Chains A and B, each alone.
Chain A
Amino acid sequence: MIATVPTALEISDLRKTFGSLVALRGVSLELGRGERLALLGPNGAGKTTLIRCLSGRTRPDGGAVTIDGQDINEFGARDSLGLVPQEIAIYADLTTRENLDAFGRFHGLRGRDLKSRVDWALQWTGLADRAKHLVGSFSGGMKRRVNLACGVLHSPSVLLLDEPTVGVDPQSRERIFVMLDELSQLGTSILLTTHHLDEAQQRCDRIVIVDKGSVVANGTIGELVEQTVGRSRLVTLSIDRPLVAPIQLDGSAELIGETGSETVTARIDDVVVQLPALLESIRRSGYGVSDIDVSSPSLHHVFLHLTGRELRD
């Protein structure tokens, strides 16, 4: 009989209330081994509370969490967990090596293990030549890398990252995601919260959207698009004068556009067939088209569809 490999992290019906505020309303999700999962949600959706419950900083009111099949509250279970907070939670007045050394010790590493992991982290972050420099003198991106390294020294099987790229330039963001990809290839499961939808879409295997303390969507970007906005393209046409009345599409009873508007939007499933027909309908109605924008459905559309809010709201 082949034993089934347990998921790296399993969260079941996690609940947490702060006074009258319900932060988590029974969140359930799974994280596979080596999987990269993006946790999205507007501010106040419950992402940070979920991360804090997992890291042991907040005691949930109910529910269960297992890491590698082990109850998270069992002794030593959280040793399999790495936490990288949103803040630069390292010591600015210590050098890179001293920070890594200190956090390695806090995670229980000693002797040769500690030294080899610190050396690995210095290489991994690309900061080997800055090992003896004070972290306080580093750029934001470099501090982020040290911040990240301090959370993975003990080789956790699950890594929790809260906004790992907030406030860093695009180059540093790319560098951080290359580092995370390396970890993922080594088998580390990654759960990250982010406000960058493109990061979630391009860098993660799966996306979970939470809103008001509940999971409202869970799947790959393709699955989420199918479940929500569908595969149709959004076409936005700029016309040469305001609409006098909505336009009727050829061969259809559907009306598009709003009276007084200088743009017309419509959803089409087949660009090659439907776009020329749409343009012809507008021309026949007596309007000229000055610009066309065709956009494929993205996570942004999915997010807006599900939460009714922009991610920063």
Chain B
Amino acid sequence: MHNRIEMMLTFAVPIAFFSIFAVIFGGGIGNSTTPKINVVVVNETSSQAGDKLIESLQESPGLRFKRDPKEELSREDASQLVRHGIVTMAIIIKGDDGEMQADLLADASNQVAGQVATALVSRALMIQQAEQSQLQSQAFANNLQPNTATGPDADEATSSTIQSESSGVPDPTLSPVTIIDVMGDGKTNPVVSMYAAGIAVMFLLFGATGGGGALLEERESLTLDRLLSTRLSMDELLLGKWFYLTAVGIIQVSVMFLWGQIVFGVDLLNHIDGFLMMTVVTASAAAAFGLCLATLCKTRGQLNGLSVIVVLAMSALGGSMVPRYVMSDGMREAGLWTFNAWALDGYDKVFWRELPVAALWPQLTVLMLSGSLFLVVARILALRWETD
């Protein structure tokens, strides 16, 4: 009863995690809607029916159009947007007025979006075709009435409409929507790298906070006093620990990905440049975070309690436990305040999207800046331990 940290861990942690997961899977407090899918659309039909279909899709609550559909966009451009993760899916409308179809250029790592988008687009196509059939039926009926249309042109129109109608009836055995995976072609185990990164980053944070705790142990055993009475300064001590924790983190993540390559087919060797850049920066930022958290606490016990809460919360929000694509927009935005989200986005670009290393600059910049900030904060907090 006297150990407040233990009490907090017993009651507060389960409540905190239940709340986080309830918000993730509930899409928000008291709201159980599926998160919107970011899409672009390419109209290859250039027909009125195509435009109408797009208008219908725009009204769908499950889709968010990231570009104005009137903008010129080629299939290749749309594919690139998906590859870069700017949108989750590109809807390519093709075919003629009578038999429209849609290709969904998808990122197969988002298994939920593919299912939802297929359903929404299929429904829109069905409605569109049904409406068109109805119009054609009405036109056909009107044509049967005297004086509505006469002459050879009218006959021609009628026969054409019938042709269209007969071909426009959806064949229940053939889906008008085809999902084309623009990411996972030729990949033996496409999503395992994403999970490898998620777990690696979470344990990197646990390792770093545990390592940072050595500083508190040294302080509690008065070894820190002794160290600071030697030639060693606090700057050197913190930097030394930071280098050590960074090196351990790099080895930890490398071993994990190597295991992933050997056992689960993660293609590490062909992405070694991006992997090393992300791993060095992520490990160094995690090490700085661990030191920052350690200097924030007074005792090892405090650090243990705080690190469990902070690391697990960051991992849940940042996508280490649950893919971020299943989260609501608000949660995804909140996730960007976590360390994990940026690190995972970087690994995602390297292993899944296979983008060139230049595309990693936002993630590398954010992680480097946050790492530097954590180090500065740790140094300022450690001032209180230097002299009485």
Contact = CB atoms under 8 A, between A and B. Distances in A.
Contacts of B147: none
Interface stretch (B224-232, B244-252, B315-323, B344-352): B224-232
B231 A89 contact: no
Contacts of A115: none
Contacts of A108: 230-231
B226 A85 contact: yes
Given A87-B221, A88-B221, A57 B388 contact: yes
Given A18-B388, A52-B388, A57 B223 contact: no
Interface in B360-388: 387-388
Interface string A55-88: 1111100000000000000000011010101111
Interface in A72-129: 78-79, 81, 83, 85-91, 103, 106-108
Contact of A85 (B225, B230, B388): B225
B387 A59 contact: yes
Contacts of B225: 52, 55, 57, 85, 89
Interface string A27-62: 000000000000000000000000010011111000
A106 B230 contact: yes
A57 B221 contact: no
B358 interface: no
Interface string B240-281: 000000000000000000000000000000000000000000
Contacts of A58: 387-388
Given A88-B221, A89-B223, A91-B223, A83 B388 contact: no
A86 B222 CA distance: 9
Contacts of A59: 387-388
Contacts of A90: 223
**Interface SS of chain B:** loop
Contacts of B230: 103, 106-108
A305 B93 CA distance: 103
A144 to B, nearest CB: 14
A79 B229 CA distance: 9
B231 A106 contact: yes
B221 A55 contact: no
Interface string B203-245: 0000000000000000001110111111110000000000000
Taking residues whose C-beta sits less than 8 angstroms from the other chain, chain B's interface range is 10 to 19
Interface in A138-159: 150-151
A83 B231 contact: no
A151 B228 CA distance: 12
A79 B232 CA distance: 11
Nearest to A18: B388
B387 A85 contact: no
Contact of B227 (A18, A79, A106): A106
Contacts of B232: 106
Interface string A8-22: 000000000010000
Which of B226, B228, B229 is packed against the most chain A CB atoms within 10 Å? B229
Contacts of A86: 222
Contacts of B221: 87-89
A57 B231 contact: no
A87 B229 contact: no
Nearest to A82: B229
A59 B229 CA distance: 13
Contacts of A18: 388
A107 B223 contact: no
Given A87-B221, A89-B225, A91-B223, A79 B387 contact: no
A219 B373 CA distance: 55
A92 to B, nearest CB: 9
A81 B229 CA distance: 9
B227 A57 contact: no
Interface string B82-110: 00000000000000000000000000000
Nearest to A162: B222
Nearest to B220: A87
B374 to A, nearest CB: 25
B231 A85 contact: no
Which of A78, A89, A107 is packed against the most chain B CB atoms within 10 Å? A89
Which of B230, B232, B387, B388 is packed against the most chain A CB atoms within 10 Å? B230
A83 B230 CA distance: 9
B239 to A, nearest CB: 14
Contacts of B223: 87, 89-91
Nearest to A84: B226
Interface string A166-210: 000000000000000000000000000000000000000000000
B226 A56 contact: no
Contacts of A83: 226, 229
A56 B229 contact: yes
Contact of B222 (A56, A81, A87): A87
A56 B387 contact: yes
Contacts of B226: 83, 85, 89, 150-151
B388 A89 contact: no
Nearest to A147: B226
Contacts of B222: 85-87, 89
Contacts of A91: 223
Which of B225, B226, B231, B388 is packed against the most chain A CB atoms within 10 Å? B226
Interface string A238-266: 00000000000000000000000000000
B123 to A, nearest CB: 63
B228 A107 contact: no
Nearest to B226: A89
Contacts of A107: 230-231
A148 to B, nearest CB: 12
Interface of A: 18, 52, 55-59, 78-79, 81, 83, 85-91, 103, 106-108, 150-151
17 contacts: A18-B388, A56-B387, A57-B229, A57-B387, A58-B388, A85-B226, A86-B222, A87-B222, A88-B221, A89-B226, A90-B223, A91-B223, A106-B227, A106-B230, A107-B230, A108-B231, A150-B226
Given A55-B229, A85-B222, A87-B223, 11 more contacts: A52-B388, A55-B225, A56-B229, A57-B225, A57-B387, A78-B229, A79-B231, A83-B229, A90-B223, A106-B232, A108-B231
Q: Which 4 A-B pairs rank lowest in CB-CB distance, beginning with the nearest?
A: A106-B230, A89-B223, A58-B388, A55-B229
